Amino acid sequence: MMTGWQDPSSVVIPLFGDPKWMDGNAAHAPDKREGVDEDRKIRIIVVDDEAVIAETVVEILNQEGFEATAVTDGDSAVELAKTVVPDVVLSDVIMPGLNGIDTGMKIRELVPNCKIILFSGQAATVDLLENARRQGHRFEILAKPISPEKLIAVIRASSGYLS
């Protein structure tokens, strides 16, 4: 059974989300594209500079049937994306070195169809997201902390699967 990380009444705040993949459009749903194995697990890279958070999220996601891997920095996530070819990257925004937004942009260069979901508990995120938006990048952002149930629902929606 999953335990909550936040009060169930907390609101997930999507900013700069890409409505093309959030509205269930079949053209963007992995299970609807040609050549995609519908039985394949959704591959997720979880990036958080706090290893305990990254590993806890991975454990929860793997228990829910995803194929998740944790890393603690953006550079490691980019390197892992070259071999894992993730469907989703779930990343903290504010991290030492490569921040989550830059990590997402670099991974999208390697894996253009990868969905990037960012989470943050810091106000500095808004400026970083606005700068990325001006460069043509759009990301889903979740307020930290987030309940496992809401996180799983967002991942499934972003991947074209029903929650």
Instruction: Tell me the domain boundaries of the chain.
Output: 19-29+42-158
Average pLDDT, the chain: 76
DSSP per residue over 91-120, as a string? EESS-SSS-HHHHHHHHHHH-TT-EEEEEE
CATH architecture for segment(s) 19-29+42-158: 3-Layer(aba) Sandwich (3.40)
Q: Which residue has the higher pLDDT, 148 or 14?
A: 148
- Per residue in 115-145, pLDDT tens? 999 888 765 566 666 777 777 777 777 777 7
Burial 33-49 (b: 16+ CB within 10 A, else e): eeeeeeeeebbbbbbbb
Copy the structure tokens of residue 36: 């995609």
Check: pTM over 0.85? Answer yes or no. Answer: no
Q: Which residues contact 1 (CB under 8 A, 6 or more apart)?
A: none
Out of 29-38, 74-83, 136-145, give the one with best mean pLDDT. 74-83
Residue 91: CB atoms within 10 A of its CB come to 29
- Going along the chain, which residue ranges are E strands? 43-47, 67-71, 88-92, 115-120, 140-143
